[in-house]
């Protein structure tokens, strides 16, 4: 029998990795089959994700993945910037040789995913690297706040990973952060994280602008298709 925490983790990962799309309905019966769990356990997991803001539950309509507005997405990334810089400084101070080895192992696998053009795999490892840094920092309050910020879900919804050259640049930025942690240089780690998250915010704005430019053309194409005999 799967626990509620286990189901929450699996459902959360499915949402942030893009397996479930924004506004997609989450049917309890289908989820029970997919995750091998009872309806009561699924309902409890959905209640937790609703509190985290990842999904929306509506009376008589069930649950759906929450659509994040452009304004909220930008504000989330701005808050994330401040929190992650705080944790990066702490991680550089606290990191053990084992912690550094873990970061380097994740980076090595990220290189492999990038070489294989495995975008989803790279995104998952990206999130794993950041979470490892959060844990190294040992700041539980900031950790919980970051978990609820849905940054990975934002990247899936707005397709920031699709910006040409961004994955390669992102990997270099992560390497700089890990190197600063390995050197126990809090100032360098803060600067590297600030540069990385600054580029994340810039890329998010690019993705939002791209979607705004595409939306009128998409509506026009849909209108034309409906009028075709």
The CATH class of 4-65 is mainly alpha
Report the range of poorest mean pLDDT among 66-75, 146-155, 197-206. Answer: 146-155
Report the range of poorest mean pLDDT among 150-159, 177-186, 215-224. Answer: 215-224
Which residues lie below 8 Å from residue 116, measured CB to CB, with a gap of 6+?
none
The pLDDT mean for the chain works out to 86
Confidence bin at 228 (pLDDT 50/70/90): very low
pTM: 0.73
Q: Distances in Å between the alpha carbon of 42 and those of 21, 33, 89, 148?
A: 18, 10, 38, 19
Flag whether pLDDT at 103 surpasses 70.
yes
Flag whether pLDDT at 217 surpasses 60.
no
Flag whether pLDDT at 17 surpasses 90.
no
**Residue 220, helix vs strand vs coil:** helix
Flag whether pLDDT at 132 surpasses 80.
yes
Q: What is the per-residue pLDDT for 227?
A: 47
| Domain edges within the chain | 4-65, 70-216
Flag whether pLDDT at 209 surpasses 80.
yes
Sign for the pseudo-dihedral over CA of 103, 106, 108, 113: negative
Flag whether pLDDT at 139 surpasses 90.
yes
Flag whether pLDDT at 187 surpasses 90.
yes
Q: What is the mean pLDDT of residues 175-186?
A: 98
Confidence bin at 157 (pLDDT 50/70/90): low
The CATH class of 70-216 is mainly alpha
Q: Report residue 184: phi and psi, to 5°.
A: 55, 40
């Amino acid at each position: 029998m799967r626990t509620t925490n286990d189901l929450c983790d699996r459902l959360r990962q499915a949402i942030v990795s893009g397996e479930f799309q924004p506004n997609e309905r989450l049917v309890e019966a289908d989820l029970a089959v997919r995750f091998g769990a009872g309806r009561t356990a699924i309902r409890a997991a959905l209640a937790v994700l609703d509190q985290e803001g990842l999904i929306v539950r509506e009376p008589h309509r069930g649950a759906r993945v929450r659509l994040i507005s452009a304004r909220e997405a930008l504000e989330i990334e701005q808050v994330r910037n401040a929190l992650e810089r705080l944790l990066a400084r702490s991680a550089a101070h606290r990191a053990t040789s084992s912690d550094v080895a873990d970061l380097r192992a994740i980076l090595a696998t990220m290189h492999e995913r990038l070489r294989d053009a495995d975008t989803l795999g790279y995104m998952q490892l990206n999130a794993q690297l950041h979470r490892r840094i959060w844990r190294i920092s040992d700041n539980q309050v900031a950790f919980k706040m970051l978990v609820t910020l849905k940054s990975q879900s934002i990247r899936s919804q707005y397709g920031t990973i699709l910006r040409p050259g961004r994955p390669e640049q992102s990997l270099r930025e992560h390497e700089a952060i890990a190197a600063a942690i390995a050197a126990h240089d809090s100032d360098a780690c803060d600067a590297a994280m600030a540069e990385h998250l600054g580029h994340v915010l810039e890329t998010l704005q690019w993705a939002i602008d791209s979607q705004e430019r595409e939306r009128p053309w998409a509506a026009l194409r849909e209108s034309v298709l409906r009028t075709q005999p």
